[in-house]
Amino acid sequence: MMDTSTELSSTNQNNQGTKKIYGQSQSEISEELEKFHVPRKQNSMRTKQIWNWTYLGGVTEFSEIKNMPKELLNQLSKNYTLARNPIANEQKSNDGTIKWLVDLPSENNSTNNQIETVFIPEENRGTLCISSQIGCTLNCSFCHTGTQKLVRNLTAAEIVSQLLIAKDNLDDWHKNNPNNSRKITNVVMMGMGEPLYNFDAVKKALLIMTDCDGLALSKRRVTLSTSGIVPYIERVGNEIGVSLAVSLHAAKDEIRDILVPINKKYPLKELMKACESYPKIKNSSKITFEYVMLKDINDSLQDAKDLIKILSNIPSKINLIPFNPWPGSNYVCSDMRQIKEFAKVLSDAGFSSPIRRPRGQDILAACGQLKSETIRLRSKK
Ligand code: SAH
Ligand code: SF4
């Protein structure tokens, strides 16, 4: 539990709280209300009201809350805030994809304290791609984020904040869409960072996003993508219960060791064992395996057959991702003809194997292209 005595004194010069109320669990909010001497009988009602205004109403100031005593709202605003992290830059792709570069408070005066959040509109859904860390400790050789050192883990509030920021900007709050025609229908933890190396904050944030009294995203429509941090996979199923995606990219250790170096610590045999158990915990649904198509590296028809072999016991869908190049990358994307042949081998063996259409490439918002570069973007303005 956090030391609330120091948290409570976190007010700025205007006597306004700086601690985010979003990102707190309902029981943490309720504990705070006890300290504000809210009568015990009213505590759960007041907690629910704060929750509803925050996650259904989309309020950004406590004064917008209508059905709570002024005195309590004053107390809340002295200690807490609903303000979002500021947007440093917004870029719109010609395919409708939007990328927001979000400023976060820096530790140790680091200059690189930004993350990227991407909205991808499609015909029947809208997907928000959320970051879990600034940078990444892993350095998968084909990934742009992997070239950026880990600056720090995000807090639960900073993870939830990305969804709130996107909803603000897309005008996607419940009050504006009473028929529930929401624009953001899906969330994928596929932005910057390895979510399982920030497990506690990611778990807290995803449980808030899927809470049915608030943001109410369906757990089936929330996907956590991991490079394969085996010891946490079971915990994702048991404690969060969202859909799982695994960045596989190779069916043989020799190749995966190079593409996804964490494979040396958690080799394919262990990873596949964890994946085999996941659907049992989760009661049926398929695991998505991501497979980046790299010319002459992992794209032969023999590679496809090896893939079929290791996935034979796992209900799976294989997402084939054409490699998205970035400045300085050493790989080349496989030819589309080869990708299609590769996909056919998989589908002939009964696997669903869609080829992902690259989105937002012109604004470096596609898979693996994310890397906030404060200086580069500032100098472009
Ligand atoms: N760290 C997590 C989630 C973020 S990466 C993970 O690795 O799963 C999201 C997906 O994009 C991963 O499958 C990753 O392997 C893939 N990716 C990374 N760089 C890419 C690139 N340049 N082109 C295509 N896909 C890439
Ligand atoms: Fe990190 Fe995922 Fe990129 Fe690998 S692919 S470096 S785990 S963000």
**Average pLDDT score, the chain:** 88
Residue 136 among the catalytic residues: no
Which of the following is catalytic: 129, 275, 333, 367? 367
Looking at ligand 1, which atom is closest to the CA of residue 326?
Answer: 22
- Give ligand 2 pocket residues (Cβ under 6 A): 136, 138-140, 143, 145-146, 193-194, 227, 247
Q: Tell me: the pLDDT tens digits for 104-151? A: 988 766 667 889 999 999 989 999 999 999 989 999 999 987 788 888
Q: Tell me: the pLDDT tens digits for 287-296? A: 999 999 999 9
The 3-state secondary structure of the chain, one letter per residue: CCCHHHHHCCECCCCCECEECCCCCHHHHHHHHHHCCCCHHHHHHHHHHHHHHHHHHCCCCHHHCCCCCHHHHHHHHHHEECCCCCEEEEEECCCCCEEEEEECCCCCCCCCCEEEEEEEECCCCEEEECCCEECCCCCCCCCCHHHCCCCEECCHHHHHHHHHHHHHHHCCCHHHCCCCCCCCCEEEECCCCCHHHHHHHHHHHHHHHCCCCCCCCCHHHEEEEECCCHHHHHHHHHHHCCEEEEECCCCCHHHHHHHCHHHHCCCHHHHHHHHHHHHHHHCCCCEEEEEEEECCCCCCHHHHHHHHHHCCCCCEEEEEEECCCCCCCCCCECCHHHHHHHHHHHHHCCCECCECCCCCHHHCCCCCCCCCCHHHHHHHC
User: What is the reported pLDDT for 250?
Assistant: 98
- Give ligand 1 pocket residues (Cβ under 6 A): 140, 142-143, 190, 194, 225-227, 247, 290, 292, 321, 323-324, 367-368
Residue 71 among the catalytic residues: no
**Least confident among 80-89, 176-185, 205-214:** 176-185
User: What is the reported pLDDT for 361?
Assistant: 73
**Least confident among 150-164, 211-225, 252-266, 274-288:** 274-288
pLDDT at 378 over 60: no
Place of tokens 């820096």: 106
Q: Tell me: the pLDDT tens digits for 20-58? A: 999 999 999 999 999 988 999 999 999 999 999 999 999
Give distance in angstroms: CA of 347 to centre of ligand 1: 23
User: What is the reported pLDDT for 8?
Assistant: 34
